[in-house]
Chain A
Amino acid sequence: MSERPNPPPPSIHPPRRGRISLVWLVPVIAALIGLGLVAQTYLDRGPTIEISFLTAKGIEPGKTQVRFRDVEIGQVQAVHIAKDRTGVVATVELHKDARDFASSDSRYWVVRPRLAGAGISGLETVLSGAYIGVDGGRSGQTQKEFQGLEEPPVVASDVPGHRYRLLAEDIGSLDIGSPVYYRRIPVGHVERYALEPDGRHIALGIFIKAPYDRYVTPDSRFWHASGVDLRVDANGLKVETQALATILMGGIAFETPELVTAPDHLTTAEDAHQFPLAASHADALKSPDGAPAILVVRFRQSIRGLTVGAPVDFRGVEIGQVRSLGITFDAAAQEYVAPVVLEVYPERLSTMDPQHAMPQGPDHREVLAGLVKHGLRAQLKTGSLLTGQKFVSLDFHPEAPPARFDSSLNPPELPTVPGDLEELQKQVQDILAKLSRLPLDELAGDMHRTLVALEGSLKRMETLEAHADKEVLPEIRDGLRDMRQTVQQLQATMAPDAPLQQDSRAALQNLSAVARSLKTLSDTLDKQPESLLRGKSGEK
């Protein structure tokens, strides 16, 4: 302590007034960092939109994401029930860089596992939970409230292609997502369908993707490609199907007839062009029918076998069909007649020469009156003897009795001639009448007499026969028996071991011995003729 030098005089710093301490930088920095972070968070926030859905199934606030091509672009912040309680409203906060998705033509839907005709989709959401899919719109206008789709859209809006409208009589097995085929290549989909306000047609919205959309021309024909088309024609049995999938889930096919122009010069149909949707390929390729003319024919015969939709035929060409059938009492004729209403397409008759096209409206009645004068008649004909199906045939029958055609009637009535079966019936009746005119009784009497005479002859013949049986036959039999005995005896005589044979053989041997002796004698006589007198010299 003692060695320590005296401490230096303390330097007393006067308090630094007026100078701001550096320590205040700390809160300033903290404030800057904090403000920066908060500002960044709020600046990163994109627009908040509200999407209404029918149900909030699978949507969880704070968890469910909004994804575009599997990239998260936002998150559901809250879900609440719509004010009118018709659905739910999900409040979604989009990311800043996904601002464009708030554009007014964006479409939102919930992706959850779904079983549709085209297969199973959204299977991954079983594990991860549902998310909201989006199809980004391109219109510059932003919007805050969206109506969510209940079904995912079939085609994203940014796929190039064309949209068309098809008018169908019935929807068949088509559904949203059903494919559209061009030469059996899937080229598009059915996007939506709705019943027309008239309640008679269904309007289908289809999408054909590029580059196939350029094969859709205003002449293109569309048809239901669902199921199997089984046809029997002059070439035999024909089974036609589109791709296997269409058999199960339906589809539409289209074709452009007479593709003579080079594909480069095709006039592609405009967007939203409307086409009719035919029931089958054959229907689709038929020349288009104009408005049908309605005609009534009254048959005074059974119309059994005639059905609604049965063809109306003109010299083998189908020009219409039966629309309705009925039966009414004709007070004037005091009989029941069957009025059959026909739908005839006059345009099918005059496709060859447009100048002579059947005029429409009241004009075509004048033409019809002229035709009736020339003998145009309707006739019920049997199409198939097997099934008894009938059709109405129109043709000229100049021999038919003249009929009055009242052109003031609406619909006009076409006179009829009896059907072919009816005519056949008449002929049979004629034959029967002729038969009934024959003197059948006399013929029968004559016949009877002849028969009696014949019977007598027969009886006589029978007695003759019996006689022959009794007398002639035994005689013949005896004769035959004798003859057989004779033959047998003859046979016995001729047999090798028969006595006659043996005797004759012994006789022959004896005879040869005699001959030998005679020879010896003659030889001896030759040599010694004297021996005849003197006897043999040797024996001497």
Chain B
Amino acid sequence: MTPTALSHGLMACPHCGLVQEPAEHCPRCRSRLHHRKPDSLTRSWALLLAAAISYIPANLLPVMITSSLTGTERDTIMSGVIYFWTSGSEGLAALIFTVSILIPLLKLGSLSFLAVSIHLRSERSVHQRAKLFRIVELVGRWSMLDVFVVALMVGLVQFSNLAIIEAGPGAAMFGGVVVLTMLAAHSFDPRLIWDSSERQDV
């Protein structure tokens, strides 16, 4: 239906955007050319799986270890959310919950959904899926908020005897989840969403 580069026997350089005859390297910027990102779905799946696996310890292990005069506290993300909720800061609790728990989860879910729909060669709501992918790519980086907060606190609160904040293993795992989902979104080729609807016509 709609003409694509592929259907005209052309290739687009992913780096400089030059549309050209199929070749191994871009004549302008010398980068490698592909019709579609190679192994896009496989890579996305692998990274998604890795993110999903990392998500479990990220939520079970402590993110922040606070040692003060009154003792040592080990906080996981969820215990922090519960703490803020019970201590009256419902807004903050909701924010942390959304950014740190809900969004990574939704990202994992959305990317999986997109990948599955490509495998099934689904033609339904193609536009919405394309939109969903763009949202996922846009929102992904904000999930690092938690990691940044922990990093800041660790840097600031170092009063040798009174209080020390240390990053727990959960923080590393959580950072891993965010990076992996971003990589998964990056390796996902959104053109594949459209391909399935095009192929019907060919």
Contacts and interface: CB of A to CB of B under 8 A. Distances in A.
A411 interface: no
A41 B61 contact: yes
B70 A129 contact: yes
Contacts of B72: 65, 72
Given A4-B27, A23-B46, A27-B49, A128 B57 contact: no
A63 B57 contact: no
Given A30-B180, A34-B173, A37-B173, A23 B71 contact: no
B46 A24 contact: yes
Interface string B55-80: 01100110000000111110000000
Interface in A35-85: 37-38, 41, 62-65, 72
Contacts of B46: 21, 23-24, 26-27
A29 interface: yes
Nearest to A72: B72
A41 B170 CA distance: 11
Contact of B70 (A34, A38, A63): A63
Contacts of B56: 34, 38
Contacts of A63: 70-71, 73
B180 to A, nearest CB: 7
B61 A37 contact: yes
A529 B44 CA distance: 208
Interface in B11-67: 21-24, 27, 39, 42-43, 46-47, 49-51, 53-54, 56-57, 60-61
B167 to A, nearest CB: 13
A497 to B, nearest CB: 124
A37 B180 contact: no
Contact of B54 (A30, A41, A72): A30
B140 interface: no
Contacts of A38: 56-57, 60-61
B23 A10 contact: yes
A517 to B, nearest CB: 148
Nearest to A34: B57
B170 to A, nearest CB: 8
Nearest to A40: B169
Contacts of A26: 46-47, 50, 180
A8 interface: yes
Given A34-B57, A37-B57, A41-B169, 14 more contacts: A7-B27, A8-B23, A21-B42, A21-B46, A26-B47, A29-B50, A30-B180, A33-B57, A34-B53, A37-B61, A37-B169, A37-B173, A62-B73, A65-B71
22 contacts: A10-B21, A10-B24, A21-B39, A23-B46, A23-B187, A26-B47, A26-B180, A27-B47, A27-B53, A30-B180, A33-B57, A34-B54, A34-B56, A34-B57, A34-B173, A38-B57, A62-B73, A63-B70, A64-B71, A128-B69, A128-B70, A129-B70
